[in-house]
Amino acid sequence: MTSTHDPDAPTSAPPPHVRGREHPADPAPADSAAAAPAQPQPPAPGSASQRLLRRVPHHRLAAPSAALVGFMAVFTLVGGWRLAWWAGALVTFALLVWLAQTGQEVVPRRHLRAYERGLATLFPLLLLAGWELLAGTGALSARWFPPPSDIAVAVWELSVEPETGGTSLLGRPWRLPELIGELGLAGALGAIVEESHVLATLGRVFIGFVLGLAPGIVVGALMGANRTVRIMLDNVMSAFYVLPKIAIFPIVMLLFANPFGEGPIITVVAVSAFFFVAFNTMAGVQGVDRIFLDVGANYGANRLQMFRHVIIPGALPVIFAGFRIALGAALIVVVAVEFVRADQGVGHLTIYYWEVLSPPRMYAGLFTTMALGVLLTFGLLAVEKRVMPWRRNRGDDDLPTG
């Protein structure tokens, strides 16, 4: 007897004991629950992740804002700025820190870097605005502490109007096309450099810094890598390091045939940069992680390869920290030497207008020195990012991406 089978007819499920034997691959219900992918659990309350994700409500900004506005209004009404402006400045700074920290918690994480950059730019502007108001109201003596607006006018005048000796602050670079037609390119550049106080100071800083850089790295690396060299040189370098560089300037002048030329100034700058670079290089070499040395040895690196590919790259962050300190010290030493022995430079300009009692132009020289320090630091940081590309995004890893 032939039986017909309808393929479309529903088939009855086999009993559990049969189904388990015929389909061993089919997981049991309990096994299905166990095999299901685990769902992400929310962070526990109070954990570090929860604190990172928690946002502060925007209305929290109301309290520090009201306290800042209220204090400044009351302090102004009672005449506190004339009586004790420094006390008002301290309280205002504390309230600004409170407001800035609260704003940092409110700002979304993706905008935090932009907020910090804005804060770093806005605060110096607030300081200048406060100085302008204090000088304008008489709380500060405008004679000895001229407002920033007067200093800005002095910077402009020193830049566009040559002095009696034919020098100016920047050398008037906008005259370059005219000078090229008269003197040629080399002569035009030389004329601008000879006229500029800023370029004279920058040239001394750059040449002295580079001359102190190379021996500082070599001596510091040897001291960090060799204990015998470190024992021999440590006390000697410590003794010479504490000598004020401006104090040894007269001795350095005796070493040159032309003691009043550029040689003694550049040498003193190089000596000051040398010590900072040497000590930081030594610390960087000594601080290289032992695991890096073991990895290099396992790969068969010889002494030279180990030094070039492991020790120096590992010490570069500390070495560049020394570069930054050395560059600042070089600028300080140059300005100090220009105070006592130079006919051109930002330091000479500053001390000259102090002697003739022209505070706005004296402050113009000081502000120019500060601007040079900022520009040199940014330039060195740019070089650091190029030399150490693995550190370009440092500081971003501690921020959540969401």
The more confident residue out of 47 and 96 is 96
217 plus 294 within the same structural domain:
yes
List, in sequence order, every residue forming a beta bridge with 196; answer none if it has no partner: 168
pLDDT at 184 over 80: yes
CB 330 within 8 A of CB 272: yes
Half-sphere exposure of 401 (CA within 13 A, CB side): 1
Structure tokens at 47: 């954990």
- With a CB cutoff of 8 Å and minimum separation 6, the contacts of 202 are 372
131 & 200 share domain: no
Residues 131 and 205 in one domain: no
Rounded to an integer, what distance in angstroms lies between the CA atom of residue 74 and that of residue 71? 5
pTM score: 0.76
The β-bridge partners of 168 are 196
171 lies in a domain?
Answer: no
Which domain range does residue 74 map to? 56-137
Tell me the average pLDDT across 391-399: 52
Place of tokens 């770093």: 120
My answer on whether 99 and 215 are in the same domain is no
The domain boundary residue, chosen from 108, 137, 166: 137
Summarised one tens digit per residue, pLDDT across range 254-263 is: 888 888 888 9
Tell me which of 306 and 227 has the higher pLDDT: 227
- For residue 311, the 8-state DSSP code is I
Torsion sign (Cα): 68, 70, 72, 75:
negative
Tell me, what's the pLDDT at 56?
A: 52
Distances (CA, A) of 232 to 3, 126, 205, 272, 380: 106, 51, 30, 21, 32
Average pLDDT, the chain: 82
Q: Within this chain, do residues 242 and 369 fall inside the same structural domain, yes or no?
A: yes
Residue 402 pLDDT greater than 50, yes or no: no
For residue 342, the Cα-to-chain-centroid distance in whole angstroms is 30
The predicted-structure confidence for 332-385, as pLDDT tens digits, reads as follows: 999 999 998 888 899 999 999 999 999 999 999 999 999 999 999 999 999 988
Same domain, 351 and 208: yes
Q: What is the DSSP letter of 196?
A: B
Q: Which of 50-59, 100-109, 245-254, 378-387 has the lowest mean pLDDT?
A: 50-59
Number of domains in the chain: 2
Q: What is the pLDDT of residue 92?
A: 94
Min mean pLDDT across 128-142, 191-205, 388-402 is at 388-402
